[in-house]
Amino acid sequence: MFQRSSDCLTSGGRHCWRTASRRPMSMDKDMPHDSLFATPQDAIARFSFDEKVAACFPDMISRSVPGYGQITAMVGVMARRYLPEQAHVYDLGCSHGAATLALCQQLEGRVPDITAVDLSPAMIAQARQHLETHLPVEAFERIRLIEGDICTLELKPSDMIIINFTLQFLPPEQRLLVISRLHHALKPGGILILSEKITCDDPEAERILYALHHDFKRANGYSDLEISQKRTALEDVMRTDTLSAHHARLAEAGFVRHFTWFQYLNFASLIAFKE
């Protein structure tokens, strides 16, 4: 985030751009710790992005998703390279607005119009609080936060669409339609950033990466109980695709140029260009 200091406050207590420190939002010292699955639960409810999850989500995702910080930071870098002046960006499944924040940080002084969408009202509330806290007024005012369903949301022409770790929570039969709608909404030359947890085509690779991902979470302080209970909660809620399935879907939706630009264990990010 941008560092705040007493000499950088506006008259209303809000701050201006200061680039001395770009500490990721997920590393805030006052961030609530994820302990949702730390105690044994007799009945494990289906995972949902409710108030409890929203409150600790930055800690949860940074300790659970390898490469999340790098992916988020690169969204801003890609925006700086590819976005034209007076651009529009969608951040779909925005959660706390980490991608939106990274984009604003990289494009200080020429922040585009951004529409950040999430189905969870708790996530939208958290995104509003985080973005309003970490951004100058002039940047925050260019962000429109919407509680809505990306499957039915009316999309306006856009230069960049970000959909990070969101498609995996949609019913599989709706995913092609969603990607096709995103392709249609993009302007010629526009880009789609799609990040997902993936399944491997090779069963042995899947077994190895599955085990290494659990090791990653243990190294970040999660117990075997937490890992097991969260896995149960996510069953039938998050259904992952293979990289080949993602690329086939992008091609079927109309994208001619698309490739995997990042992979860390069984998490990947793809970029697709509209001709």
Q: Can you say how many angstroms the Cα of residue 226 is from the centroid of all Cα atoms in its chain?
A: 22
Residue 82 labeled ligand binder: no
Q: Are 31 and 58 in contact (CB under 8 A)?
A: yes
Tokens of 1: 């985030």
Residue 239 labeled ligand binder: no
Q: Report the alpha-carbon distance of residue 209 to residue 111 in Å, rounded.
A: 38
Residue 151 labeled ligand binder: no
Q: Report the alpha-carbon distance of residue 180 to residue 90 in Å, rounded.
A: 15
Q: Where are the beta strands (DSSP E) in 148-185?
A: 158-164
Q: Are 17 and 2 in contact (CB under 8 A)?
A: yes
Residue 231 labeled ligand binder: yes
Length of the chain equals: 275
Residue 150 labeled ligand binder: yes
Residue 198 labeled ligand binder: no
Question: CB 160: neighbour CB atoms within 10 A?
Answer: 24
The residues, any chain, with a CB within 8 Å of residue 155's CB and separated by 6 or more, are 90, 181, 182, 184, 185
Residue 12 labeled ligand binder: no
265 dihedral zone (left: phi>0; alpha: psi -120 to 50; beta)? left
Residue 164 labeled ligand binder: yes
Q: Residue 9's beta-bridge partner residues?
A: 15
| Nearest CA among 176, 164, 25, 184 for reference residue 93 | 164
Q: Are 222 and 63 in contact (CB under 8 A)?
A: yes
Tokens 């090779």 belong to: 202
Residues annotated within a binding site: 68, 93-95, 149-150, 164, 231
- What residue numbers does the annotated binding site for S-adenosyl-L-methionine cover? 68, 93-95, 149-150, 164, 231
